[in-house]
């Protein structure tokens, strides 16, 4: 008779697989531990330690910090990550990273989920693709604080064998606010009225930011910076980084004289009296129709960042305008008489030409900014050596001119000296320029009424 025997199989319980960054020495218990960043000096900042905000960002260790020197677990394209700004956990647990371990020696691991990185500038504009394309670019202090967000989906880590053979991690996210270290104060933008600054009005990107105004073009050539035109009580904001309005005004004083030329000065004050802010309001002060001395000579201004007179910003006013105040339209002949009445032996004022107001092109006029239609383009005016004429003037630089408080500029069309004749025998038409959008138009005769301003000649 055969003997029956029974064998009891006992399941051996081991350890679940886990994520790790140091070859298995330290198990990761939450995904927050994968969301730390390392700065260029080697300092590690974890989500638990970070208390940065838009108002109190992390300052990077030195002034030359590029995006790729702010390290995270997510590899950059230069490290072979073709899927940046994300990386799958399947990639991270494989070679060369091997960010997992199992105490029981189980193998054949796989993982679901992914990590992502997102970069934004201070306007909350996503710049992640720019960082991907140019990781060696330095962080721009005028775009700071930057927001760096690291996030992870839920993760399931599993091995083929073992009991237990899976580990679950709940998704997590954390945002860091970061700014570069600034060794030298600088001007980010010179900001006039921003109305009519987008779409067809927007200037070239290297000059004009629709949300902030004109960018600094040169610290060596004042004529390349905004503004090149001016009138009494026109004002713009200097948006600074690395210094406060209080510091800037203390260095330059509240009234600034030109370093060359004559006839106008600058008034400096903190916007809304906020001396600890980074915004200085710059107001032009110069001749009006009621001034006893209407003399103006092209004037260059220098603003300094320190008492040693290291330059912060400079610009040169080449053309000065005096407007006829009051809600009064005038015939063209009266416009000429008004400008003549402002003139002296040493200073001539004249009815402006089209290019003294706008860089638009229209109705037969084509000496504006190349390719621009019949509205002004927000760009800095410049002198065309080939034509001997300016390209652009007051309206394209300052925007809606009648929006500036304390000035005498009003809504409407303004006379210019230029005329247009479609063909021989056709009546001569006199151009005018519309203050709101800077478009070029014309009247059929001199008897119509328009507004009047005069420009130095």
Q: What is the CATH number of the domain that holds 390?
A: 3.10.100.10
Q: Is residue 135 part of a domain?
A: yes
Which residue range(s) make up the domain with 56? 18-179
Let me know if residue 306 belongs to a domain: yes
Say if 9 falls within a structural domain: no
- Rounded CA gap, 152 and 89, in Å? 10
Mean pLDDT in residue range 101-122: 90
Indicate the pLDDT class of residue 103, thresholds 50, 70 and 90.
confident
Distance from C-alpha of 269 to C-alpha of 360, rounded to nearest angstrom: 33
Q: Is residue 3 part of a domain?
A: no
- Write out pLDDT tens, residues 68-92: 999 999 999 999 999 999 999 999 9
Half-sphere exposure for 109 (CA within 13 Å, toward CB): 31
Bridge partners, 174 (sequence order): 150
Check whether residue 355 and residue 246 sit in a common domain.
no
Average pLDDT over residues 2-31: 75
**CA proximity to 14, closest of 135, 217, 161:** 161
CA 274, CA 424: separation in Å to the nearest integer? 61
The answer to whether residues 22 and 117 belong to one domain is: yes
Question: Are 280 and 414 in a shared domain?
Answer: no
The pLDDT confidence band at residue 427, using thresholds 50, 70 and 90, is: confident
Domain boundary pick from 151, 179, 207: 179
Whether 237 and 251 map to the same domain: the answer is: yes
**Residues 344 and 331 reside in one and the same domain:** yes
Mean pLDDT for the stretch of residues 36-46: 96
> Does residue 202 sit in the same domain as residue 330?
no
Q: What is the pLDDT of residues 129-174, one digit of tens each?
A: 999 999 999 999 999 999 999 999 999 999 987 778 899 999 999 9
- Residues 160, 239, single domain; the answer is no
Q: Are 202 and 257 found together in one domain?
A: yes
* Residue 376 domain-assigned (yes or no): yes
261 band by pLDDT with thresholds 50, 70 and 90: very high
Tell me how far apart the alpha carbons of residues 241 and 245 are, in angstroms, rounded to a whole number.
10
Residue 7 lies in a domain: no
Report the SS3 class of residue 341. helix
End residue of a domain, out of 260, 292, 319: 319
Is 454's pLDDT higher than 80?
Answer: yes
Give me the mean pLDDT over the 437-449 stretch. Answer: 79
Sole residue written with tokens 């050596």: 385
- Are 243 and 348 contained in the same domain? no
pTM given for the model? 0.86
- Assess if residue 1 is contained within a domain: no
Number of domains in the chain: 3
Average confidence (pLDDT) over 210-238: 98
Q: What is the 3-state secondary structure (H, E, C) of 109-132?
A: CEECCEEEEEEECCCCCECHHHHH
3-state DSSP helix/strand/coil % of the chain, to nearest 5: 15, 30, 55
Same domain for 349 and 307?
Answer: no
- Kindly report, residue by residue over 307-363, the tens digit of the pLDDT: 999 999 999 999 999 999 887 788 999 999 999 999 999 999 999 999 999 999 999
In this structure, the answer to whether residues 295 and 442 fall within a common structural domain is no
Predicted confidence (pLDDT) at residue 2 exceeds the cutoff of 70: no
Burial of 38 per CB tally in 10 Å (0-12, 13-18, 19+):
middle
Domain end marker among 120, 147, 179: 179
Instruction: For residues 331 and 293, state if they share a domain.
Output: no
Residue 314 lies in a domain: yes
pLDDT, one tens digit per residue, over 287-300 is 999 999 999 999 99
- In this prediction, residue 64 has a pLDDT band, given cuts at 50, 70 and 90, of confident
């Amino acid at each position: 008779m055969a003997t029956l025997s029974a064998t009891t199989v006992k399941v051996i319980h081991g350890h679940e697989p886990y994520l790790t960054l140091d070859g298995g020495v330290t198990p990761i218990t939450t995904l927050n531990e994968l969301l730390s960043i390392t700065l260029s000096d080697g300092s590690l900042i974890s989500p638990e330690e970070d208390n940065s905000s838009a108002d109190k960002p992390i300052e990077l260790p030195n002034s030359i910090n590029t995006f790729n020197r702010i390290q995270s677990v997510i590899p950059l394209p230069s490290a072979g990550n073709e899927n940046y700004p994300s990386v799958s956990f399947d990639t991270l647990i494989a070679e060369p990273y091997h960010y997992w371990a199992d105490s029981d020696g189980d193998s054949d691991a796989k993982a679901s989920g992914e990590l992502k990185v997102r970069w934004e500038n201070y306007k909350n504009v996503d710049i992640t693709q720019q960082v991907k394309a140019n990781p060696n670019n330095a962080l721009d202090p005028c775009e700071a604080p930057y927001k760096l967000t690291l996030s992870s989906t839920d993760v399931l880590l599993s091995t083929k064998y073992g009991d237990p053979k899976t580990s679950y991690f709940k998704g997590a996210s954390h945002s860091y606010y970061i700014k570069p270290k600034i060794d030298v104060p600088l001007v980010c933008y010179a900001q006039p009225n921003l109305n009519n600054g987008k779409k067809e009005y927007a200037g070239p990107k290297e000059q004009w930011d629709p949300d902030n105004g004109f960018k600094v073009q040169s610290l060596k050539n004042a004529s390349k910076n905004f503004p090149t035109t001016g009138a009494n009580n026109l004002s713009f904001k200097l948006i600074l980084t690395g210094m406060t309005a209080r510091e800037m005004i203390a260095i330059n004083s509240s009234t600034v004289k030109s370093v060359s030329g004559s006839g106008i000065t600058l008034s400096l004050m903190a916007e809304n009296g906020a001396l600890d802010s980074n915004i200085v309001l710059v107001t032009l002060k110069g001749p009006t129709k009621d001034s006893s001395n209407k003399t103006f000579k092209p004037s260059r201004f220098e603003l300094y960042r320190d008492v040693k007179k290291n330059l912060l910003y400079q610009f040169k006013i080449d053309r000065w305008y005096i407007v006829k105040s009051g809600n009064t339209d005038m015939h063209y002949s009266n416009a000429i008489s008004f400008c003549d009445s402002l003139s002296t032996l040493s200073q001539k004022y004249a009815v402006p030409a089209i290019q003294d107001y706008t860089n638009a092109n229209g109705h037969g006029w084509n000496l504006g900014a190349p390719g621009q239609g019949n509205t002004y383009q927000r760009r800095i005016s410049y002198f065309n050596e080939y034509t001997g004429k300016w390209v652009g003037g007051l309206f394209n630089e300052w925007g809606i001119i009648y929006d500036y408080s304390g000035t005498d500029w009003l809504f409407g069309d303004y006379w210019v000296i230029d005329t247009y004749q479609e063909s021989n025998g056709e009546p001569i038409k006199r151009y005018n320029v519309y203050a709101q959008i800077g478009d070029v138009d014309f009247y059929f005769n001199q008897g119509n009424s328009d507004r009047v301003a005069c420009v130095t000649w």
